[in-house]
Amino acid sequence: MPRTAQKKSEVLKLRRAGSIPAIIYHKDKAGEPIAVQSDEFAAHLRHVQPGHLPTTIFALVDAKGKERRVIIKDIQYNVVNYNVIHLDFEELVDNVPVSVKIPIECVGAADCEGVKLGGVLRQVIRYLRVRCLPKDIPTNFTLDVKDLGPRQSKRLSDLPLPNTVRPLADMHEVAAVIVKR
């Protein structure tokens, strides 16, 4: 629902009424202030896998029934009870690329030679920022670490990236390494 609350006192009233103040950002436009029902948003958050919030696409429906696809750009929590107190969304437009943080998941650690010899898998980079069209947003990247021995590492360049995704990081950085205990 759209909101007109700009003052701090009005935003506090909105939160007490069970809503979360939020802003939807559009390309080349000013942000549009809205309010999201906190209980509905919390219900949706329970179904999001840990670490996958940046790639989760939400459908926001306004009072007129118009649906907009968005991703979360920023989320602010209350430091005492960890309730969501503010959200920043970015609207997804089909032909406009977006920057997204994609989670990196390491697989094969149980079969890894370096781990079997007493080492520990240390994931140095957990997310890779990429630029792509909304239809090409991957849910995650998988990094296979089963071939690593002690003190060996995998770099971001070892990730299997689709051609439709452009990385925004130095691909020579170490993503995961086997270290001593």
- CA 106, 110, 116 angle in degrees (round to 5)? 120
| Residue 3 confidence (pLDDT) above 80 | no
Q: Where in the chain is the domain with CATH 2.170.120.20?
A: 98-179
* Whole-number Å distance between alpha carbons of 22 and 87: 5
Homologous superfamily of the 98-179 domain (CATH): Ribosomal protein L25, C-terminal domain (2.170.120.20)
Question: What would the pLDDT profile of 130-141 be if each residue is shown by its tens digit?
Answer: 999 999 999 999
- CA 68, 73, 77 angle in degrees (round to 5)? 110
pLDDT at residue 130, rounded to an integer = 97
pLDDT at residue 16, rounded to an integer = 87
Asked if residues 59 and 68 have their Cβ atoms less than 8 Å apart, the reply is yes
The fold of the 8-91 domain, in CATH, is Ribosomal Protein L25; Chain P (2.40.240)
User: Is the C-alpha dihedral spanning 36, 93, 166, 55 positive or negative?
Assistant: positive
Residue linked to tokens 């690593």:
148
| Residue 7 confidence (pLDDT) above 80 | no
Lateral strand order in the sheet of 32-37 = 32-37, 19-25, 84-91, 67-77, 57-61
| Residue 1 confidence (pLDDT) above 60 | no
> 3-state DSSP call for residue 134?
helix
pLDDT at residue 5, rounded to an integer = 54
Question: What would the pLDDT profile of 92-130 be if each residue is shown by its tens digit?
Answer: 999 999 999 999 999 999 899 999 999 999 999 999 999
pTM of this prediction?
0.85
Beta strands 127-132 and 98-107 are: antiparallel
Determine the straight-line distance between the first and last CA of the chain, rounded to whole angstroms: 52
Q: Where in the chain is the domain with CATH 2.40.240.10?
A: 8-91
Tell me the average pLDDT of the chain: 91
